[in-house]
Every structure is written in C-alpha cells, then in structure tokens.
C-alpha cells in the first residue's frame, strides 16, 4: 500500500545511504521541485546540506528574494545566494538558438555549483529536483523516434571532470506527486501551489537573443499578468501562466504619436503533469484587462496576443 509518507521515509533512507557523511549542495530555483528536494534532503542529512540559489538574472520579479526569505527565515536551512546575473546574461547575449541557450545555462549552473562546492571545503554531491517528465522529455518523445525535445537544464548528468555525484530524489515522481510530498514535508500550501518555473528562467521566454532591457520589460509584463490572474481568483485553477516577449516589433499609436515596440504573448495552461496541456480559456474581458494594463504600464510593449496552442503540438514554454 503506497502512500506519500512511506515514499518519504524510503527516500530519506536512500539519501542517507547514498551520501553517508558527505556534504551535499542543492540548487534552488524558486520552483516547487528544487524546494521539495531541499526539504527532503535536509530532513535526511541536516547540516550536511547547503542550498545554493543561483540568481542568474533570469528570475521573475522579486522571486530570488522571496525564496531566500522562505528558506533562511522560515526553515533555517543554510542558503548561499549567488548573484551570477552578469555571468549568465553576458554569456547569453546575442545567442538566439534555443538549445544553445539551454546548454549555456546548464553549463554555467554547473560552473557556479562547482565553485560553491569548493568554498564549503568540497562537496561530494550535487542535488537537483529533477522529475520523471524532465527525464523523459530530455531523452525521447513517447512513441516516436529518439528525439530531444528540449535539453532540460538539470538533466544529462555531470561533466566527467567534476568529482561529484548527483542526488535526485524526485526522479521517479510526477509534479502532482511532488506537491503531495511537499505537503508531507510541511511546506506551506501557498508555496506548494506555485506555478512551475523552469530552471533556464526567463531566457526561454524571450525567444531570440536576450538583453537586460528585454528581461526587464518581460519581468514587468509577467508581474502584471500574474497579478491580474490572482485578482480574478484563477491562480490555482491554472497550472502555469507566464508572459513571453517576442522578438518582433509592431507599429501602434498612443496619444497622438506613433509607437514601434515589442509584442508580448500571454500563455496559460491547465495540465496534470506538464506532459500534455490545454490552453486556458480565459474570457475576453480578462484578456482585455490584462492587455490594457500591460500596454499602459510597460514601456516597450505596444501589443499583446494570447497563445491558444495546446501541448501537443505546442510545448508549454516557447523554447
């Protein structure tokens, strides 16, 4: 008889066995997965765990601070906050290919983890919140030939030269199961219910090359969109929602002037595990409200469109 409580105990045993008295570092992304992984490992080995929040400058508005506050203040779990924004953004600048962007980000994450592991006197283990769907989708697409859809930033193992072993206690779980486990571990409902956020962050919501300016524009539009979703009481009904900044400028008119600014696409889906998804059928009044606010409040956007693609044939993220 399979329960989450039993799964938790088994997973804790497995972590203790794998790690022994070694040190573990765990990357926190602000999402549910890495937070649940960190809580689980903390319960298993306590002080042997150090969490690392790599702020790659690709997070949503205020997200890094919220995560730091929760872990340090609420749970008292040691957390190192690494400001690596310049490093990531400089490396990505001008790069438009989605897979190259993902791989660049994955490599930089490893570089930062490696440096942080050294700072704490050597850690033999790197923990990640990799889920079962991440593993499948990075490897092949069900039913078809073996094709990589997207290289998930945290799948694919570690470079040979790295003297670290991966700890991935969620590798067998789907998202809904991770949420149950999070509840079992005592994470607050508000955190467990957070929409998924991908490790590569806003870089994959900014098709084409990213720039600091574009990221700022996207953060603002995204914050307004989510604010409207919360106000409409829809946050928990929707599985994931976010804004995408398109690398397309269009002509508009504001007051009595011409504008030539970017297009923002809004995305919202319902899903159970992220493997398949339906676009969320907002009513037009909601979309109109969100669009008006974004165009009025965000300098740099003069047109908003809504993405009505389900998965398949689309994916949830645009890259």
CB of 12 to ligand XMP, least distance (A): 23
8 in contact with ligand XMP (CB under 6 A)? no
Which one of residues 48, 50, 240, 302 is an interface residue with ligand XMP (CB under 6 A)?
240
The string over 92-117, giving b where at least 16 C-beta atoms fall within 10 Å of a residue's C-beta and e elsewhere, is beeeeebeebbbbbbebbbebbbebb
222 in contact with ligand XMP (CB under 6 A)? no
- Residues 115-144, interacting with ligand XMP (CB under 6 A): 137
Alpha-carbon gap, residue 96 to 307, rounded angstroms: 21
316 in contact with ligand XMP (CB under 6 A)? yes
CB of 153 to ligand XMP, least distance (A): 4
Query: Which helix (H) or strand (E) segment is 275 a member of?
Result: none
Count how many Cα atoms sit within 13 Å of the Cα of residue 244 in the half-sphere of its side chain.
20
179 in contact with ligand XMP (CB under 6 A)? no
Query: Residues 166, 154: contact at Cβ < 8 Å?
Result: no
DSSP 132-162: HHHHHHHH--TTSSS--S---TT-S---TT-
The site map against ligand XMP for 59-78 (x = CB under 6 A) is --------------------
- The token pair that represents 47 in the structure block: 């002080």
The site map against ligand XMP for 151-170 (x = CB under 6 A) is -xxx----------------
Which one of residues 108, 201, 274, 282 is an interface residue with ligand XMP (CB under 6 A)?
274
Alpha-carbon gap, residue 129 to 152, rounded angstroms: 12
Which CA distances in Å does 52 have to 26, 80, 95, 116, 120? 6, 5, 26, 8, 11
Task: Name the segment binding ligand XMP (CB under 6 A); options: 77-85, 90-98, 145-153, 283-291.
Answer: 145-153
Binding residues for ATP: 29-35
Task: Name the segment binding ligand XMP (CB under 6 A); options: 4-12, 192-200, 222-230, 278-286.
Answer: 192-200
Which one of residues 200, 226, 238, 241 is an interface residue with ligand XMP (CB under 6 A)?
200
Alpha-carbon gap, residue 200 to 318, rounded angstroms: 12
**Where on the chain is the footprint of ligand XMP (CB under 6 A)?**
137, 150, 152-154, 196, 198-200, 240, 274, 311, 315-317
């Amino acid at each position: 008889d399979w329960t989450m409580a039993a799964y938790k105990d088994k997973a804790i045993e497995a972590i203790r066995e794998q790690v022994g008295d070694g040190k573990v570092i765990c990357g926190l992304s602000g999402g549910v997965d890495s937070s649940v992984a960190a809580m689980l490992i903390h319960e298993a080995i306590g002080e042997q765990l150090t969490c690392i929040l790599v702020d790659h400058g690709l997070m949503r508005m205020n997200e890094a601070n919220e995560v730091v506050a929760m872990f340090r203040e609420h749970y008292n779990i040691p957390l190192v906050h690494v400001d690596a924004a310049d490093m990531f953004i400089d490396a990505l600048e001008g790069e438009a290919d989605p897979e190259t962007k993902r791989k660049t980000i994955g490599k930089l994450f490893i570089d930062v983890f490696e440096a942080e592991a050294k700072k704490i006197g050597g850690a033999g283990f790197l923990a990640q919140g990799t889920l079962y769907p991440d593993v499948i989708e990075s490897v092949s697409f069900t039913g078809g030939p073996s094709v990589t859809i997207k290289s998930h930033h945290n799948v694919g193992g570690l470079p040979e030269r790295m003297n670290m072993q991966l700890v991935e206690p969620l590798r067998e779980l789907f998202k809904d199961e991770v949420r149950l486990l999070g509840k079992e571990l005592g994470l607050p409902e508000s955190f467990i219910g957070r929409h998924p956020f991908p490790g590569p962050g806003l870089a994959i919501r900014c098709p084409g090359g990213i720039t600091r300016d574009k990221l700022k524009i996207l953060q603002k539009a995204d914050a307004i969109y989510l604010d409207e979703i919360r106000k409409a009481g829809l946050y928990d009904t929707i599985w994931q929602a976010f804004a995408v900044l398109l690398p397309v400028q269009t002509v508009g008119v504001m007051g009595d002037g011409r504008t030539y600014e970017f297009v923002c696409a809004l995305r919202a889906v319902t899903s159970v595990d992220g493997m398949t998804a339906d676009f969320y059928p907002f009513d037009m009044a909601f979309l109109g409200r969100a669009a008006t606010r974004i165009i009025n409040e965000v300098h740099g956007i003069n047109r908003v469109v809504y993405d009505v693609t389900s998965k398949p044939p689309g994916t949830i993220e645009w890259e």
